[in-house]
Amino acid sequence: MALFSHRRLMIWAPLVLAAALIGVSCGDDGPPHASESKDSAHWSYEGAEGPAAWGELAAEYATCSTGSAQSPIDLGVAEITVLPDLLINYRSGEVSVTDNGHTVQATAASSSADSSSISLDGTEFTLLQMHFHAPSEHTINGVFAPAEVHFVHRSETGELAVIGVMLTEGTTDHAAWSAYTETLSVGEEQTITTTLEWPAMLPGDALTIRYAGSLTTPPCTEGVRWLVMDTPVEVSAAQLAAFVEAHEGNHRPVQELNDREVLADTSRG
């Protein structure tokens, strides 16, 4: 645990300052974030339809309150170990961007020729979409990042794997993220088409913290494989502000760990 604590302290300490600078407090989605259908029970991030009530809003949301492997969690309990490599095969591609009322989602084009994917433990997962939360949903020792982005993937058998990337404040705009942040003002029920440089949006270090969890929005389905990147990506203050302006406070509170295993990949020489 000493090695883990030291390594994470070096990476995550700047988040405390970044959170303070943009007014993020340590208070309270998830894939695949499709817009609610007319038959779905409405849910929110606050008030009577907020996270504490999700499990009571509809029968299909019951897992939000009864599940034992819910997300997000605090990652500070992770144990350092050597994990099988996460293989990332991302390609630049066209996306459709929509504000679904809870976040701004960029859905990847369905063309198999241009599809991005990851390979984990011998299983291939195709990239479906990404969306954000401001502040982050996962924490480390109670510390939130200014924003967290989820890259949602699905295997041929329907299993979900989500890469979480924390965003922190840097000194300049991040060029690869600009194509997305410039669409965050899209109005609900509208769609913008753009191209994202998927590979350049990830941190250079692909080490991850991994655990078994759930969707972080209703219906809170469990069986999701979570991989939170160890290293955050720096974007500008203006880019972070665009996330907050689009949907501030769209994050679920940290959930109970319930004896789950949380593993942090260690550097390999």
Q: Helix count (H) and strand count (E) of the chain?
A: 5, 13
Give SS3 for 109. coil
Per DSSP, the residues of 49-83 read: GSGGGHHHH-GGGTHHHH-SS-S--BGGGPEEE--
C-alpha 252: how far from chain center: 11
**CA angle centred on 206, ends 16 and 184, rounded to 5°:** 60
C-alpha 6: how far from chain center: 24
* 102 has catalytic annotation: yes
Q: Of 6, 42, 102, 131, which one is the catalytic site residue?
A: 102
Residue 115 CA neighbour count, 13 Å, CB half: 16
With a CB cutoff of 8 Å and minimum separation 6, the contacts of 249 are 28, 45, 46, 134, 135
Q: Is 140 left (phi over 0), alpha (psi -120 to 50) or beta?
A: beta
How many whole angstroms separate alpha carbon 71 and alpha carbon 73? 5
Which candidate, 165, 132, 142, places its Cα nearest to that of 251? 132
CA dihedral 134, 138, 144, 145 (to 10 degrees): -60
Query: Residue 76 corresponds to which tokens in the numbers above?
Result: 């500070």
Query: Residue 255 corresponds to which tokens in the numbers above?
Result: 């959930």
Question: Mind telling me the catalytic residues?
Answer: 102
